Amino acid sequence: MTVESTAARSSTRRSGTAEADTSATGKPRKTAAKAPAKSAAKAPAKSEGAVKSPSSGSRAKSAAKGSDKAAPKSTARSTAKSAPKSTAGRSAKSRAKSTAASGAGRKAGSSRATRPARSGAASAAGGAANGVVGAEPELIQLLTPEGERVTHPEYDVELSAEELQGLYRDMVLTRRFDAEATSLQRQGELGLWASLLGQEAAQIGSGRALRPDDYVFPTYREHGVAWCRDVDPTMLLGMFRGVNNGGWDPNSNNFHLYTIVIGSQTLHAAGYAMGLAKDGADSAVIAYFGDGASSQGDVAEAFTFSAVYNAPIVFFCQNNQWAISEPTERQSRVPIYQRAQGYGFPGVRVDGNDVLACLAVTKAAVERARTGEGPMLIEAFTYRMGAHTTSDDPTRYRSDEERAEWEAKDPIKRLKAYLENEKLADADFFARIEEESEAMGRHVRDAIRTMPDPDSMAIFENVYADGHALVDEERAQFAEYQASFATESESGSAAVEGK
Partner 1 sequence: MAVQKLPLAKAINASLRTAMENDSKVLIMGEDVGKLGGVFRVTDGLQKDFGEERVIDTPLAESGIVGTAIGLALRGYRPVVEIQFDGFVFPAYDQIVTQLAKMHARALGKVKLPVVIRIPYGGGIGAVEHHSESPEALFAHVAGLKCVSPSNASDAYWMMQQAIESDDPVIFFEPKRRYWDKGEVDPSAIPAPLHSAKIARQGTAATLAAYGPMVKVCLEAAAAAEEEGNSLEVVDLRSMSPIDFDTLQRSVEKTGRLVVVHEAPVFLGSGAEIAARITERCFYHLEAPVLRVGGFHAPYPPARLEDEYLPNLDRVLDAVDRALAY
Residues near partner 1 (CB under 8 A) are 244-252, 256-257, 259, 261, 264, 266-276, 278-279, 297-298, 301-302, 304-305, 308, 461-466, 468-471
* CB crowding 341-352: b at 16 or more within 10 Å, else e: bebbbbbbbbbb
Q: For partner 1, give the closer residue by CB, 281 or 447.
A: 281
In the complex with partner 1, the residue whose CB is nearer, 59 or 256, is 256
In angstroms, what is the minimal distance from the CB of 236 to partner 1?
Answer: 14
- Pick the closer one to partner 1 by CB: 233 or 411: 233
From the list 223, 384, 414, 418, the catalytic residue is 384
Q: Which of 95, 186, 211, 397 is catalytic?
A: 397
**Do 321 and 291 contact (CB within 8 A), yes or no?**
yes
Whichever of 221 and 384 has its CB closer to partner 1, that residue is 221
State the Cα–Cα distance between residues 363 and 286, nearest whole angstrom.
Answer: 11
- Smallest gap from Cβ 344 to partner 1, in A, equals 13
Q: Which of 451, 454, 419, 488 is closest to 169 using CA atoms?
A: 419
Cα-trace Rg, the chain: 26
Q: Give CA–CA dist 17/35, Å, rounded.
A: 7
- Give the DSSP per-residue string, 146-182: T--B---SS------HHHHHHHHHHHHHHHHHHHHHH
Q: How far apart are CA 386 and CA 379, in angstroms?
A: 20
Picking from 207, 293, 289, the residue whose alpha carbon sits closest to that of residue 253 is 207
DSSP of 76-130:
HHHHHHHHHHHHHHS-HHHHHH-TTTHHHHHHHHHHHHH-HHHHHHHHHHH--GG
End-to-end CA distance of the chain: 99
Shortest approach of partner 1 to residue 297 CB, angstroms?
6
Nearer to partner 1, 183 or 244 (CB): 244
- Residue 384 is a catalytic residue: yes
Give the other-Cβ count within 10 Å of 8's Cβ.
16
Q: How far is the CB of 479 from partner 1 (least distance, A)?
A: 18
Tell me the closest approach of the beta carbon of residue 299 to partner 1, in angstroms.
Answer: 10
Coil, helix or strand at residue 259: coil
DSSP 466: S
Residue among 220, 388, 414, 418 flagged as catalytic: 388
**Shortest Å distance, C-beta 242 to partner 1:** 14
Active site residue 14: no
Least distance (Å) between residue 288 CB and partner 1: 14
Q: Which is nearer to partner 1, 217 or 381 (CB)?
A: 217
Beta carbons within 8 Å of 229's beta carbon, 6+ residues apart: 207, 210, 216, 253, 254, 255
397 is catalytic: yes
Residues annotated catalytic, as ranges: 384, 388, 397
